[in-house]
Structure 1
């Protein structure tokens, strides 16, 4: 009589869906997690960029902030903009992704910049500080913004403005262009 009890060669996810889910949960618990930040590049009719001055860190910054657990980066950018500047905004395309190496007490992270478009004069005048995180906001020329921003944020801004002009998204490593 032939042996019909051949080994089941199907993948684990087909053979034992519960074991597969347990495997995924274990991997999720052990694998690295990344901080995710999402900023918005906003311009006015004169071509100046919107900057914010946070209370909790040195220097000016682009509007935006950290994503919450399981929040997509583009929605984090929209939420942060709404919370910080009291205005609804739908972000446009992705301009920059910057992988930031571990530094100080921080693990590595991914920082995104999305295109927030150009605000009309009325929209620019309607911006209001929406929470206690910010001291001020202002529009600045690219040159002036580079003097107000921390160096790595200034580099991201330059690449974001280039992405607007060229239509190409930039992938950076610690603020520097990654070329392969």
Structure 2
């Protein structure tokens, strides 16, 4: 029963432990692994890593309780099989300190992608399901369906600031985001993981707003104000439902503030 370090490159060693040790239970295994980790850093190694089978939940717990942070999944790294990469650096904040413990938790807790979009309307259109409203839609270069302007929220970025940044980067328009009008959960689809889409009010503008658009050509083919009939023709069904739900929340009889795939 043992845990050991195997050199990988200068300053980097890979941690392994035997199945016999893991069979002793979580406590004894973690204790043995922690001792080896301490010895590794005392010997001058800068990085200690381990590769864990995604199906081996016991080994994942050993890695986590030993203070190793989850870094991601290396695909087909060992005999064509995926492995979860856990690692610790010599100068990482000790797990015993609050910051170190929070960083450890943050490394393996679930994360969800956030998308911010802006609902920009044309002056003169009513709000509702009667077709009078017109909203700004973008024809994107990387998919056939049209969509609201916006994009993915960057790490540590405010969703409200993100949507204004995306609108300025992709359309050349400086429009501060107004109140949040809808939170829409998107289930996994077409190769994407699930996500949360936040729709912010972009206000009502003159039709001439489109004349000032400067397209980011790599992402935007065109952009124009569209009627609700066109929304249903040009957008994916879940996008059209999202737009209708967001518009309802700007009316005198708002609908739910939270939807799932627009429903």
TM-score bracket for this pair, using the shorter chain length: 0.7 to 0.9
What is the CA–CA distance in structure 1 between the aligned matches of 2:253 and 2:180, rounded to whole Å?
10
State whether residues 118 and 202 of structure 2, in contact with CA within 8 Å, keep that contact through their aligned partners in structure 1. yes
Aligned with 2:198: secondary structure? strand
CA offsets per residue over residues 5-58 of structure 1, 9 Å max, x none?
xxxxxxxxxxx9952222211110001111110110001113211000000112
Secondary structure at the aligned position of 1:22 is classed as helix
Superposition TM-score, scaled by structure 1 size:
0.82
- Residue 121 of structure 2 corresponds to residue 35 of structure 1: no
Task: Give the 3 Å change call, closer, same or farther, for CA 137–104 of structure 1 in structure 2.
Answer: closer
Residue 251 of structure 2 aligns to a residue whose secondary structure is helix
Following superposition, the deviation at residue 126 of structure 1 comes to 1.6
Please identify, of 105-114 and 160-169, the stretch whose mean Cα deviation from structure 2 is larger. Answer: 160-169
Matched, 1:133 2:133: no
- Gaps of at least 5 residues in structure 2 are 1-93, 126-133
Q: TM-score by structure 2 length? A: 0.57
CA distance in 1, matches of 2:159, 2:213: 22
2:206 corresponds to which residue? Answer: 120
The structure number with the bigger radius of gyration is: 2
User: What whole-Å deviation, never above 9, does each CA across 1:112-142 have from its counterpart, x for those lacking one?
Assistant: 1100001124433222313421111111111
Residue of structure 1 equivalent to 2:123: 45
Q: Is 1:159 aligned to residue 237 of structure 2?
A: no
Instruction: After the TM superposition, list the runs of 4 or more consecutive aligned residues in structure 1 that deviate by more than 4 angstroms.
Output: none
State the number of aligned residues: 161
- Out of 106, 131, 145, the residue aligned to residue 192 of structure 2 is 106
Asked whether 1:93 is paired with 2:179, we answer yes
| 1:23 equivalent in structure 2 | 101
Please tell me whether the aligned partners of residues 44 and 124 of structure 1 are also in contact (alpha carbons under 8 angstroms). Answer: no
Aligned match of 1:79? 165
RMSD, matched Cα: 2.0
Deviates more, 1:96-105 or 1:152-161: 96-105
| 1:64 pairs with 2:150 | yes
Asked if the contact 1:83–1:131 (Cα under 8 Å) also holds between the matched residues in 2, the reply is no
List gaps (5 residues or longer) in structure 1: 1-15
1:167 Cα deviation after fit: 7.5
User: Which has the bigger relative contact order, CA under 8 A and spacing at least 6?
Assistant: 1
Which of the pair is proportionally richer in strand?
Answer: 2
When residues 141 and 66 of structure 1 are mapped into structure 2, their CA distance, relative to the original with a 3 A threshold, is: same
